[in-house]
Amino acid sequence: MSHWFLIAIIAPILWSIINHIDKFILSKYQGGRGVGALLIFSSLSSIVVLPVIAIIYRSKIFSVSVTDSLMLLLVGLLSAAAFYFYLKAIDKEEASIVIPIFQLDPIFGYLLGYFILQELLNVNQIIASVLILVGIISLSVESDINKHFHFKKRVLILVAISSFLFALSGVLFKKLALVDSFWISVFWQYTGLTIFGIFVFIFYKKFRHDFKNMFTGLSFNLLSLNILSEILYMIGALANNFALLIAPVSLVFIVNSYQPMFVFIVGVSITMFIPRLVKENISRKHFLHKLSSIIIILIGSYLLYSSSS
């Protein structure tokens, strides 16, 4: 495998662990109160990286054009908004169901790449994208013990919005980073994230209240787990952004398609060995349903990868 793949695969591995950490932390709250707390915590965590980049690249930070800096701030805001819809979805459903639906990313990535980066689609890529959609729809439908089917419409909508925003932020980041350099672009993107976190903290009373309660209502172990989650997320995000610069956007999104597999493996393993942390539904019917849907998605992802190489 080429070096870009090894860099790109870091993100889905780390993010699959984060998905279960987020689900575990959210399960400690009631009525979705953890969403606002984690959103502010995650957004403000980016402020830790800003001084380091500012010291190393202090002579170049303000060399970018006003338009590019504003666009990169927008990229940060889009990333934060995408994270919000992700948290809403993961709060309502198991990680092994939510994350595979994120394989809408390659489809949005291709469409946005075509219009923004002039990256073209071929027939095989379109067919592979349709196959991914079939797997996603299959995963979004679940039957109960009476064989009545339930379409997880709300979760699908939340993930679709999040996926689109993540794809848009990734494509815009690449477009701008190719001109303004990687670390300078990261600086302005993370500045946008920080601004978002400060804005929400000041003007959204409910989320501010939930954020404050995080430090009084959670144990030291849970706070440490949250900090670990943010560290892993930043490492994954940096690896993903760097991979976007050295490989086509579509291929990086395809590598991210392996995340459902990692989420599935981690979720089942934790359920079997540490059930007090995560409890995935691993009944035979649900297990086979999830596994078959993920296999369809991975097949589509492989075909998409093959047609893009």
- Per-residue pLDDT of 37-60, as tens digits, reads 889 999 999 898 899 999 988 888
| Domain boundaries of the chain, sorted by first residue | 3-308
- Per-residue pLDDT of 167-212, as tens digits, reads 999 999 988 988 878 999 999 999 999 999 999 999 999 899 888 8
Dihedral angle sign, alpha carbons of residues 47, 75, 41, 14: negative
Instruction: Choose among 182, 162, 213: nearest CA to 40.
Output: 213
Q: Is 176 exposed, middle or buried (0-12, 13-18, 19+ CB in 10 A)?
A: buried
- Per-residue pLDDT of 221-241, as tens digits, reads 777 888 898 899 999 999 999
DSSP letters along 118-184, please? -----HHHHHHHHHHHHHHHHHTEEE-TT--EEE-HHHHHHHHHHHHHHHHHHHHHHHHHHHH-HHH
Q: List Cβ<8 Å contacts ≥24 apart for 213-216.
A: 213/33, 213/37, 214/34, 214/37, 214/41
What average pLDDT does the structure give for the chain?
Answer: 81
- Per-residue pLDDT of 242-297, as tens digits, reads 998 887 777 787 777 777 778 877 877 887 777 666 666 667 777 787 778 778 87
Asked if residues 136 and 60 have their Cβ atoms less than 8 Å apart, the reply is no
* Start-to-end C-alpha separation, the chain: 12
Q: Supply the pLDDT for residue 10.
A: 92
Dihedral angle sign, alpha carbons of residues 298, 16, 196, 173: negative
Q: List Cβ<8 Å contacts ≥24 apart for 113-121.
A: 113/171, 113/248, 113/249, 113/250, 116/171, 116/172, 116/175, 117/171, 117/174, 117/175, 117/249, 119/248, 119/249, 119/250
Q: What's the whole-number mean pLDDT along residues 104-117?
A: 78
Q: Supply the pLDDT for residue 286.
A: 73
- Per-residue pLDDT of 142-166, as tens digits, reads 544 444 445 567 888 998 899 999 9
Give the torsion through C-alpha atoms of 42, 47, 53, 57, to 10 deg: 130
Which amino acid, 152?
A: K
The DSSP 8-state label assigned to residue 65 in this structure reads -
- Phi, then psi, of 187 in degrees rounded to 5: -60, -50
Q: What's the whole-number mean pLDDT along residues 95-122?
A: 75
Query: Which residue shows structure tokens 């989320």?
Result: 207
